[in-house]
C-alpha cells in the first residue's frame, strides 16, 4: 500500500537526525568567526550582484539562501533574538549549533533524544539562575548604559568613529524617549546619508524626511512652524472619464482659463488664510499653486509617501486632512524649527523641536553605502540593548565571563542529577564553552589554553572574561573594563537556542513532497 506519492522522499531514524543536526551546525559555523571585538565581516553577494558587508549575525543568516528546513530554524533563532532584545544574534545561533553538536555525540552514545531534550531544558533553567546571580549590583546609570552600547558596537563596522563616541549619542537618544510609561523605543529612528565621515553622525531632536521644497522660492527655514498635512492634490481637477469640450470663441477660452486660474488661486488662498506655515502633502502641487504659496512665505513638500506622512503626523501632532475645505487650525501640528539642507544630490527636511521633540533621529553619516548600512545596523542594535538594559536595570559581565559562570554552575548542579540525563546537562555546559573559545580564537589566542585560564580565574577571582585592549588580550573582570551586556540578552540567547536545538533533535522522520 502506497501512502505517500511516488515523488516523495523520506529520511528516517538516525539518518534524519544526522542530516538535520549537520545542517544546523553548518549554519551556526558560518557566523562563528564574526563573534566578539575581533570578529571578521562577511561579504554576501546575491544573484543580482548586490553586496552586503556585515558581521551582524541576523543580517548574515537572512541574506544567505538557506533552503534546509532545520537550518532555517537556526535562522529563526537569530530573528527571535533580534526581535526581542536587538543583539546577541551570533551568540544565540552559535550556541544553538553547538548544542546540536553535543546532542549528536550523545545520540551516537545511544542516549535517547527525549533524554537529551529533558537534560537540555533542565540545564537551561540552571543557566537562567546563573545569569541572575551574575547581575551586577551597581545601578544602571548613563555610564553603564554607555558601556552596554559600546560593548554592543565594538567590532562592528563603525567606520572612522569609535564605538565609545557613538555610545554617548545612543544613550542620549534612549534617555530622550524614556518616559513614565517606559522607554518608547519606536520614537527613536535612524536616518542614513552618504557623504562626510562617520564623525559627522549626530542626534537630531525630531525627524528627518527625504524631501525638497516644491518651489525654489520657498523659505529654507521656518521657525515656530504650524504644520498641515494634506491628502489633497493641489492641481486642476480632472474628470474620471475622457471628455472633449468644444470652444467656439476667444471668450469661452478666456473663461476656461480664468476658471482654472481661479481654482488654483483658491487653493493657495485657502492654505494661506488657514495660518499654516508648512504644508506636507501626499499628492502633487501645481507649479502655479507652489509659486503663489512661495510668495506667501509658505514652505510646501509634495508627493510624500504614506509612511513619511504618518511619521510627520505622529511626530508633530498634526491630523491628516483629506479635503482642503476641512482644513482648520485644530488640525495643525507644531515644531520649533523646520529647515531644509542639501547633501550632494539629496535634499532633506529637518523637523525639530516642539511636538516633534518627542521623537529623535540618529543622523548617520558615512563615506560609502556599505559604511552607512553597517553603521545603521550597529546603532540599531545598540539602541535596542540600551533600551533593554534601561528597562530591566540588569547587566551582566561580557567577554565570555557570563558563559563561563553559567557552565560552571551547570556542571556543579549536574553532579546531583541521576541517570543519563546528567550527560545531557553536562553537554549543555560544554556547548556554552563555545562563546569564550570563539572569542579567544578570534583574538588569536589558543582556545583551549584560554578556556583553561578563564576557568581557573573564575574559580579564584569569581569573575573572568577575555578583555581585548588594543593588541593585548588579558583575562580580567569585565565589569572593571566596562564590558557589559544586558542580562536579557543572555537569557534570550539561552532560551531561544535551547528551544531550537531540542526541536531539531526530536525530529526522526523527514518527509519531502515534490
Q: Which of 59, 90, 189, 443 is catalytic?
A: 90
Query: Is 181 annotated as catalytic?
Result: no
Rounded CA-CA distance 289/237 in Å is 13
DSSP state of 240: S
Cell of 389: 538594559
Q: Which of 34, 89, 158, 201 is catalytic?
A: 89
Rounded CA-CA distance 196/45 in Å is 26
In sequence order, the β-bridge partners of residue 334 are 226
Cell of 242: 475622457
Q: Which of 33, 41, 56, 468 is catalytic?
A: 56
In sequence order, the β-bridge partners of residue 175 are none
Rounded CA-CA distance 137/306 in Å is 46
Is the separation of the CB atoms in 398 and 465 below 8 Å?
yes
DSSP 302-335: -S--HHHHHHHHHHH---EESSGGG--GGG-EEE
Three-class secondary structure of residue 418 per DSSP: coil
Q: Which of 41, 87, 381, 488 is catalytic?
A: 381
Cell of 155: 567590532
Is the separation of the CB atoms in 443 and 451 below 8 Å?
no
Rounded CA-CA distance 419/423 in Å is 8
Query: Is 90 annotated as catalytic?
Result: yes
User: From residue 509, how far is each of 357, 438, 499 by CA, in Å?
Assistant: 56, 33, 19
Q: Where are the alpha helices (DSSP H) in 177-297?
A: 250-274, 287-295
CA angle 388, 394, 400 (to 5 degrees): 95
Query: Is 114 annotated as catalytic?
Result: no
Residue length of the chain: 514
Query: Is 56 annotated as catalytic?
Result: yes
**Beta-carbon count within 10 A of 456 CB:** 12
User: From residue 191, how far is each of 179, 365, 429 by CA, in Å?
Assistant: 23, 9, 42
Q: Which residues form the catalytic set?
A: 56, 89-90, 381
Amino acid at each position: 500500500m502506497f501512502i505517500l506519492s511516488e515523488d516523495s522522499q523520506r529520511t528516517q531514524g538516525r539518518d534524519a537526525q544526522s542530516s538535520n543536526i549537520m545542517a544546523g551546525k553548518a549554519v551556526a559555523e558560518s557566523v562563528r568567526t564574526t563573534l566578539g571585538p575581533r570578529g571578521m565581516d562577511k561579504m554576501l553577494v546575491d544573484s543580482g550582484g548586490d553586496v552586503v558587508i556585515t558581521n551582524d549575525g541576523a543580517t548574515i543568516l537572512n541574506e544567505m539562501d538557506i533552503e534546509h528546513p532545520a537550518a532555517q530554524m537556526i535562522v529563526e533563532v537569530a530573528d527571535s533574538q533580534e526581535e526581542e532584545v536587538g543583539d546577541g544574534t551570533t551568540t544565540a545561533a552559535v550556541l544553538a549549533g553547538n548544542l546540536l553538536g553535543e546532542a549528536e555525540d550523545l545520540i551516537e552514545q545511544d542516549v535517547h533524544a527525549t533524554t537529551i531534550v529533558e537534560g537540555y531544558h533542565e540545564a537551561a533553567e540552571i543557566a537562567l539562575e546563573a545569569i541572575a546571580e551574575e547581575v551586577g549590583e551597581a545601578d544602571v546609570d548613563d555610564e553603564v548604559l554607555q558601556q552596554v552600547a559600546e560593548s554592543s558596537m565594538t567590532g562592528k563596522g563603525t567606520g572612522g568613529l569609535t564605538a565609545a563616541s557613538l555610545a554617548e549619542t545612543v544613550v542620549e537618544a534612549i534617555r530622550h524617549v524614556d518616559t513614565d510609561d517606559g522607554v518608547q523605543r519606536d520614537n527613536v529612528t535612524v536616518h542614513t546619508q552618504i557623504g562626510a565621515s562617520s564623525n559627522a553622525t549626530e542626534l537630531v531632536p525630531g525627524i528627518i524626511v527625504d524631501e525638497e521644497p516644491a518651489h525654489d522660492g520657498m523659505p529654507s527655514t521656518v521657525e515656530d512652524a504650524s504644520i498641515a498635512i494634506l491628502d489633497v492634490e493641489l492641481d486642476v481637477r480632472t474628470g474620471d472619464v475622457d471628455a472633449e469640450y468644444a470652444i467656439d470663441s476667444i471668450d469661452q477660452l478666456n473663461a476656461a482659463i480664468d476658471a482654472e486660474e481661479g481654482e488654483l488661486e483658491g487653493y493657495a488662498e485657502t492654505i494661506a488664510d488657514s495660518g499654516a506655515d508648512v504644508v506636507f502633502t501626499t499628492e502633487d502641487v501645481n507649479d502655479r499653486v507652489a509659486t503663489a504659496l512661495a510668495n506667501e512665505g509658505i514652505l510646501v513638500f509634495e508627493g510624500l509617501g504614506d509612511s513619511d506622512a504618518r511619521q510627520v503626523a505622529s511626530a508633530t501632532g498634526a491630523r491628516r486632512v483629506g479635503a482642503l475645505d476641512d482644513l482648520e487650525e485644530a488640525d495643525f501640528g507644531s515644531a520649533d524649527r523646520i529647515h531644509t539642507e542639501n547633501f550632494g544630490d539629496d535634499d532633506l527636511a529637518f523637523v525639530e523641536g516642539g511636538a516633534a521633540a518627542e521623537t529623535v533621529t540618529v543622523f548617520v553619516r558615512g563615506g560609502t553605502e556599505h559604511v552607512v548600512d553597517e553603521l545603521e545596523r550597529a546603532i540599531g542594535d545598540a539602541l535596542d540593548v540600551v533600551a533593554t538594559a534601561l528597562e530591566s536595570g540588569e547587566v551582566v559581565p561580557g567577554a565570555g565571563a557570563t558563559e563561563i559562570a553559567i557552565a560552571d554552575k551547570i556542571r556543579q548542579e549536574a553532579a546531583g542529577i541521576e541517570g543519563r540525563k546528567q550527560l545531557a546537562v553536562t553537554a549543555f555546559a560544554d556547548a556554552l564553552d563555545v562563546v569564550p573559545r570563539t572569542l579567544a580564537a578570534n583574538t588569536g589566542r589558543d582556545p583551549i589554553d584560554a578556556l583553561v585560564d578563564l576557568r581557573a580565574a573564575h574559580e579564584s577571582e569569581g569573575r573572568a572574561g577575555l578583555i581585548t585592549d588594543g593588541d593585548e588580550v588579558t583575562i580580567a573582570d569585565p565589569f572593571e573594563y566596562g564590558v557589559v551586556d544586558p542580562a536579557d540578552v543572555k537569557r534570550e540567547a539561552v532560551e531561544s537556542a535551547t528551544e531550537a536545538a531540542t526541536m531539531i533533535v526530536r525530529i526522526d522522520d523527514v518527509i519531502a513532497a515534490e
